[in-house]
Structure 1
Amino acid sequence: MPLNVTSAKAILFDLPLFFNWQSTLDVLKDPPTEYVEKVQPPVDLLAGLDDISARVDDGSIASEYGFGWELYKLVGAAHDGHFAYILDVVGQIFTFSRPLPLVSVSEDGSKLPAVLTTARPPEFLEELSQQGSLQDRDALYNNLFYNLAQISLQSAGSGTGGFSGGGRGRFAPPGANTTLEFANGTTLTIANTARTLLSFANVTSGEDLRRKIIYDEGSTVPSVRPNLITPVSRDTIPSTQAIAPPGYPAPVVAGPSNLINGFYIDGTGYEDVAVLQVPSFISSSFAEAPFQAASQNDLFKQLFPALDPYGANRFRYNEAVDLVGQAFSGVASQYPREAGLRNSTLRAVQSSYFDYHTDTTVDGKPFESWSQKVGPISVNGQYYTALSRWNLTDIYIPYQAGINVTGFSNLTRWKPEDIVLVTDGYCASTCSIFAELMTQQGGVKTIAMGGRSNANKIQAVGGVKGANIFQWGFIQTYAAQAKQLNNTLRTSALKEYDVGKAVGRSYADGINVRDAVRLGDESGIALQFKYEEANCRLYYTAEMTVNAAAIWKAAANAQWKDSSKCIGNGGYYPSNAKRAAQGKTTTLSPARGYQVHGVQALRQYEALEGSFSVETEYQRDAGDGFMQP
């Protein structure tokens, strides 16, 4: 498809309007030294747009796909799962896959992990992993491989791993073939796959294809754009998951669609160990109530009801944010805040961030005005709004969150030494907020699984640590609403958001609008740029790739029986430490373990292959959105 330069330049004009809402825009150009050394290099996003624009002008970018791929790579270089822009030509024509997944395992849990199917962990895989949306390199590496937790999520997860075309791996053309080299010197060449997402009937040229999917100045026969919103019927969503996902025992408490499940571990020595598995915190309207029912969740408040979750956050200051807040707060202040308000427009205004009554200062006090909330506040030479916190007693919390927060008590329900948080590094977005509360306020320790083939310590939270994502259409809507609420803003900077070329050609997009900032941290550095090693690291073994209980047993052993199992002798407790006695609080009987070996594992995988595609399709959510796989 030859590039329509006029259309490309219109998109490049739009993009900075939305990039200015990215909370980390300034720090990405000059991140903290430790972040650069251990996580990712700097990236100047606005300069990157200028470079792409110059290459459009000089003709070195001459195709629609080349243009879209350069934009994809630029945004991906931020390694922020909330920050995305995928042009239609990249996301809506083909997805790509290799016909087999890989695993990276340690022979005995102590030896360095090796990639099974290939002879050694090549640098190629580490480079390939950088195409993912996570920031930590060990988490990115893990996400290349077959993983039971992602499998349990079916199409909502990253399939059988980025190497085989799951998650973000589906967008990167892998070439015609993949050649595997085995330890005994033999090789195997297999054909890769491109999956078509639209009909190629009557398409005989690039121009034909362009007219089929793009509507702009160069398309005389616009097609109907694909509907990216997948409707979900409550009647089709089970309130509980009756069938255990592959590799898992039957849950004793089942949540919706495997988003949350409770287990016991079968076997001597694990009688007092329970597992709460949360493979996804994705917010969907059908899942909120049953998710809470499974965990009694407002999860952190149920575990530590006496603690007041901090969760401070801030916007990057820009003129549009200020103007929207002036309009929303101005109207919201004229009316009382009432539970059960039937005026949906007013309810939306009064429950948004842009009404200063919605949340509180870091001291838990009400903001007195929008100007107090918006600032701007100078932090390390950049400008942000004032730090704010969720007001969990606000009357609109049930409307915003879909649940009532019930975990309020002066009781100490759990001791931090009785809990351990186990991750594979793919902890991002809401998960990162939960992990921050659990570790920094709850005092809970962490175990990180897998990682690259070395003996270094690794992070437990390897994904985006931002606090809120907006889809770009939300920003356009806020600008439009602000102008309706306040006519004087019609000629303001908000009029620039009337344009729609970038949004109109977006397969998927997102902006991280809020930084998360740690309690008591005077540095002002967002959590996104904090590097923090887990308390313990464990390698995957072969059994763990087909039996989730093997992971849980290894984690329980390292945390409460023998911390020398941690790679590099990390860990929290000495090997002879014991937990405080914790009585059983349920009469449910432990479920039988799910042991999978040899031929059983092969049959399980063959059955899995036929049950769903490794492709994962992006769905826009009705709320503030979520990190897409």
Structure 2
Amino acid sequence: MRFRTDAIVVATLLAVQSTASVIPQSESTDACGQIYKRSSSAGNSSIVRMPGELGLQCLQSMPFEPKRAVAWVKEYRKWLLFQSDLEILENPPTDYHMPATDLIGTLDNIEKRAAAKDYKNQWEFDTDVKNMITSAYDGHLGVTMCSYLIAPEAMRYTNDVPLVSVSSNGTAIPKVYTFADAKLLKSHKDRVSPIVSINGADVVTYLEGISLTTNAQDRDALYNTVFPSNPVSIGVGTLNFLEGSGLFSNPAIWPGANHTLHYANGTSQVVKTVLEVKNWQWKSGKSLYNHWCLPSSNSKRSLSSLKVSKRSSDSKGPSGYPTPHSSTLDFSVMSFLPENSNLKDAAVLAIPTFEWVFGQPDVLARDFIVKAAKEGKKKMIIDLQGNGGGLISAGWNLFRLFFPDQEVYSATRFRAHEGINFIGEAVARLPINNSDIKDNILNWKENVTPDQKDGFSSWADLYGPHEVFGVNSSSLFASNLSMISTAASQQISGYGDVPLDPKAQSFAAEDIIIITDGYCASTCTLFTELMKAQGVRSIALGGRPQTGPMQAMGGIKGAEVMDLGNLAQILSDAKKLANSSSLLSDEDLENWDKYVPSPLSEFPYAMIAAAVNLLNSFGPANDTVPRQYIYEAAECRRFFTYDNIVDQETTWASAADAMFYGGGCVEGSTNGTGSLFPASV
């Protein structure tokens, strides 16, 4: 059956957001100036803390220009038409557990509100755009409006009471505690009590509402984002796992001025939202708007003043992890030979991101896999917790390191529409050695059928269109791996001029397991799908406090995120060619501006970051329903204990116990829809 968003969850989320709009505008007129004074008096180089309301009031004091907003919507709509699954989102299959959304219809309503001068300030407009994007629950779809670039780049909301979801033994239903209380569960259990409600709402319902402000497509994966995570902290570059992860204490949107926590023992606690700023330079909403929102200020904008530094090469390692056997400098790949008695015959490869620098990560992973097998390790644990994706070729290459005799399967389609057709036709006429189209997905000459055996005869052959699951779509295709894989970049073992190494499989599929926290997205899902096709099992950790299955791959399953800045360069070259050739008719040239978006530099608002999911991904058994809309339960599920939260080695031991040694899974979590087979073998 369809899992629709619970009405209470939605009401809770709307209540959180509505607290932002009830602050009188008269209070916000000098909020930016107050922030400036406080920051200046403390020294701009320091992070300064102050009441959280000042941040919202400052953002709400920015002006709103209706004509500029309407012009922005008209241009952005052209970009949004490149999103691969617009029609499916309006009427998703029953296997999809998130609510339907009409992105174009919502954008039309935003345009109407802007034209009617219905927005009081820029923040209100930006918030509607952000909520529209979030409603797709697609980590590849995004646009950073200026209000949501200011926070968190120049300011951020936080509080000092992170929460955790803790099970007593990994299979018992977890309860929510403050992190400080959870530390005492073993030594002074009588002194602590779980949280039962927040601001009068059931604690789980309230936290689910918070989780819906981010972009996973699985409710359990979303729930995990509310709490801090060691693996996630690596991706955001923090030294402390409590900083930068966990939406309750590091919210993505204005969370309200405070949260009242009610405990099972009858006590309560008020947690205030704090604003943190650094190098604050703006004395008014107008100056803030001019600097961050107008395109003319692009060159003057300085980002990341509040971003914590990436770990240096002399760091002992990320918090919560034992000392690695080997590691990349940024800890994107770490290998371990654990001494835990429950892991004595296991090797661990932890990969919290596929954002790899080619060379060292690939070599490290390859050498460790081979070495672990030679040293007698019988089991391989691949820890993908927190992995939101990265370089597609990195995932394909890692698969080949484990299964060198198996081919990489990739099958994709884009949404066929006038804009992409104009671009594809123009790109097809660009010289084959043009650097702007090399390795570009819209270059039909570099694409092949999913089995890598046949190419396409023309752009029209690739474009189609074909009606697939209610969407006008391209032909099914894949990147030509032999063409894109080179020793210099995008190395994929055994393709192109990259030698096959290793040549033999080191671990049997039944001796490999994958661990995720549900937030496995993008490249992570492509890798995990390939491994699953060979019989590799997955265990999902955490999620909502209920029995039943959980997906290992709860993030976006799209095959290609297209950064609009990169696509803009292709548009520029394609338009120049179209203007100077006979490829397009006079009517086509007249319609170019109607269907093809302007470069981001010409947008009415400053556009720092924007992207769409360009390609839907399909499995070998189903070339009509995108994998994004197919539920795939992990073979087993366990909840986090407190030890699992602070010590990754205990997480690996728990997973090994469940998957290799018959230790058991959460009730009802095996044999779920889309899983392989029972977890214990």
Considering the TM-score relative to the shorter chain, is it more than 0.5? yes
* Aligned-pair CA distance for 1:445: 0.9
In structure 2, the residue matched to 1:510 is 611
Asked whether the equivalents of residues 136 and 459 of structure 1 are also in contact (C-alpha less than 8 Å), the reply is: yes
Structure 2 gap segments, 5+ residues each: 1-61, 179-193, 197-202, 367-393
Say yes or no: does 1:78 pair with 2:158: no
SS at match of 1:275: strand
Distance 1:412 1:368 in 2: 37
Question: Could you tell me which of 142, 150, 172 is aligned with 1:92?
Answer: 150
Distance 1:228 1:323, change over 3 A: farther
* Aligned-pair CA distance for 1:73: 0.3
SS at match of 1:189: strand
* Aligned-pair CA distance for 1:563: 4.9
* Aligned-pair CA distance for 1:502: 4.3
Distance 1:101 1:12, change over 3 A: same
SS at match of 2:444: coil
User: Quick one: percent identity of the two aligned structures?
Assistant: 28
1:226-268 deviation line (CA, Å, top 9, x unaligned): 24599xxxxx997x77623211111112123111101122132
In structure 2, the residue matched to 1:543 is 643
In structure 1, the residue matched to 2:65 is 4
Distance 1:190 1:433 in 2: 40
In structure 2, the residue matched to 1:423 is 516
Distance 1:366 1:6, change over 3 A: same
* Aligned-pair CA distance for 1:146: 1.4
Question: Could you tell me which of 183, 205, 222 is aligned with 2:264?
Answer: 183
1:500-556 deviation line (CA, Å, top 9, x unaligned): 45474234321111111111214x011111111111000111111111011100111
SS at match of 1:60: coil
* Aligned-pair CA distance for 1:566: 4.1
Say yes or no: does 1:491 pair with 2:491: no
* Aligned-pair CA distance for 1:173: 0.9
* Aligned-pair CA distance for 1:276: 0.6
SS at match of 2:237: helix
In structure 2, the residue matched to 1:598 is none
Distance 1:502 1:396 in 2: 35
Listed as ranges, the matches of 1:518-537 within 5 Å are 518-522=619-623, 524-537=624-637
Question: Could you tell me which of 348, 351, 369 is aligned with 2:439?
Answer: 351
Greater mean alpha carbon deviation, residues 80-89 or residues 56-65: 56-65
Greater mean alpha carbon deviation, residues 73-82 or residues 466-475: 466-475
Relative to the length of structure 1, the TM-score reads 0.80
In structure 2, the residue matched to 1:371 is 460
Distance 2:529 2:401 in 1: 16
In structure 2, the residue matched to 1:389 is 478
1:64-86 deviation line (CA, Å, top 9, x unaligned): 11000000000110000110112
SS at match of 1:555: helix
Distance 2:528 2:615 in 1: 17
In structure 2, the residue matched to 1:604 is none
Distance 1:573 1:72, change over 3 A: closer
In structure 2, the residue matched to 1:305 is 404
Distance 1:5 1:163, change over 3 A: same
| Structure 1 runs of 4+ with >6 Å offset | 571-576
Greater mean alpha carbon deviation, residues 486-495 or residues 511-520: 486-495
Listed as ranges, the matches of 1:409-448 within 5 Å are 411-440=504-533, 442-448=534-540
The code of the aligned residue for 2:333 comes to I
Distance 2:680 2:524 in 1: 31
SS at match of 2:144: strand
In structure 2, the residue matched to 1:476 is 568
Distance 1:353 1:566 in 2: 42
In structure 2, the residue matched to 1:123 is 205
* Aligned-pair CA distance for 1:159: 4.4
Distance 2:78 2:680 in 1: 58
In structure 1, the residue matched to 2:422 is 323
SS at match of 1:322: helix
The code of the aligned residue for 1:418 comes to D
Say yes or no: does 1:291 pair with 2:365: no
In structure 2, the residue matched to 1:627 is none
Distance 2:173 2:505 in 1: 41
SS at match of 1:135: coil
Structure 1 gap segments, 5+ residues each: 231-235, 336-345, 578-629
Report the RMSD for the aligned CA atoms in angstroms.
Answer: 2.8
* Aligned-pair CA distance for 1:272: 1.3
* Aligned-pair CA distance for 1:165: 4.6
1:100-154 deviation line (CA, Å, top 9, x unaligned): 3211010122321111125234310011100011111100100110111112345
Asked whether the equivalents of residues 237 and 311 of structure 2 are also in contact (C-alpha less than 8 Å), the reply is: no
* Aligned-pair CA distance for 1:370: 1.8
* Aligned-pair CA distance for 1:62: 2.3
In structure 2, the residue matched to 1:615 is none
Distance 1:21 1:158 in 2: 37
Listed as ranges, the matches of 1:216-235 within 5 Å are 224-227=299-302
SS at match of 1:422: strand
Distance 2:680 2:652 in 1: 19
Greater mean alpha carbon deviation, residues 405-414 or residues 377-386: 405-414
Listed as ranges, the matches of 1:611-626 within 5 Å are none
Listed as ranges, the matches of 1:99-178 within 5 Å are 99-117=160-178, 118-120=194-196, 121-155=203-237, 159-166=243-250, 169-170=251-252, 172-178=253-259
Distance 1:395 1:247 in 2: 37
Say yes or no: does 1:17 pair with 2:110: no
1:146-204 deviation line (CA, Å, top 9, x unaligned): 111112345379945333454xx33x11122222222322222232112336634442x
Asked whether the equivalents of residues 95 and 197 of structure 1 are also in contact (C-alpha less than 8 Å), the reply is: no
The code of the aligned residue for 1:90 comes to Y
Asked whether the equivalents of residues 103 and 145 of structure 1 are also in contact (C-alpha less than 8 Å), the reply is: yes
Instruction: Flag the structure with more relative contact order, 1 or 2, with Cα contacts below 8 A and sequence separation at least 6.
Output: 1
Distance 1:576 1:396, change over 3 A: closer
The code of the aligned residue for 2:134 comes to G
Greater mean alpha carbon deviation, residues 134-143 or residues 486-495: 486-495
Distance 1:68 1:33 in 2: 31
In structure 2, the residue matched to 1:564 is 664
Say yes or no: does 1:361 pair with 2:436: no
Asked whether the equivalents of residues 236 and 244 of structure 2 are also in contact (C-alpha less than 8 Å), the reply is: no
SS at match of 2:515: strand
Distance 1:565 1:355, change over 3 A: closer
Distance 2:549 2:84 in 1: 29
Distance 1:295 1:467 in 2: 23
SS at match of 1:331: coil
In structure 2, the residue matched to 1:278 is 351
The code of the aligned residue for 2:275 comes to A
